[in-house]
Structure 1
């Protein structure tokens, strides 16, 4: 089983209110400089949220969500501290995460 961690918020919040593009670009640059494989994804309308016990959402709400998914729990914890107004959680998968 693979463990994944996520930070989730509205698409509007991630795209228009927070500098998420800059944050992810800086993270990517950090990974490249340290020869690490990219282990995070920005996902619009994440399907995994429908299977999460923590989040029972209507389809109208889930269609306006975005998530940052990573196999690095500490990166998601750092995002929560950095951004603040997001929810976090985790899920397990039998296969590697492939963003939709």
Structure 2
């Protein structure tokens, strides 16, 4: 099993109200400087949100949402502190998330 952590918000919030591109670009540069592989992905309307665990939650999802998914829980916690108005959580999966290159 793989543990994934995520920061979830409306697509509009992440793309238009927060400097997400700048935040992720800086994170990528930091990873390059410390010689670390990229372990996060930006996904619009991720499928994991349709699982039973999330449907039972009481938060309301907008029509279009987006998530930053990572293997690093501390990065996601940092995003919560940086952006504030996002929902964070985690999920487990039998499969590894493979980004499109």
Residue matched to 1:85: 85
Shift of the 49–99 alpha-carbon distance from structure 1 to 2, 3 Å rule, reads: farther
CA distance in 1, matches of 2:69, 2:14: 13
Q: CA deviation at 1:51?
A: 1.0
Residue matched to 2:27: 27
Instruction: Show structure 1 runs of 5+ residues with no match.
Output: none
Q: CA deviation at 1:50?
A: 0.5
Instruction: Show structure 2 runs of 5+ residues with no match.
Output: none
Number of matched residues?
97
TM-score by length of 1: 0.89
Q: What stretches of structure 1 move > 4 A for 4+ residues in a row? A: none
**RMSD after superposition:** 1.9
5 Å-filtered alignment, 1:60-79, equals: 61=61, 63-79=63-79
Shift of the 72–31 alpha-carbon distance from structure 1 to 2, 3 Å rule, reads: same
Shift of the 87–52 alpha-carbon distance from structure 1 to 2, 3 Å rule, reads: farther
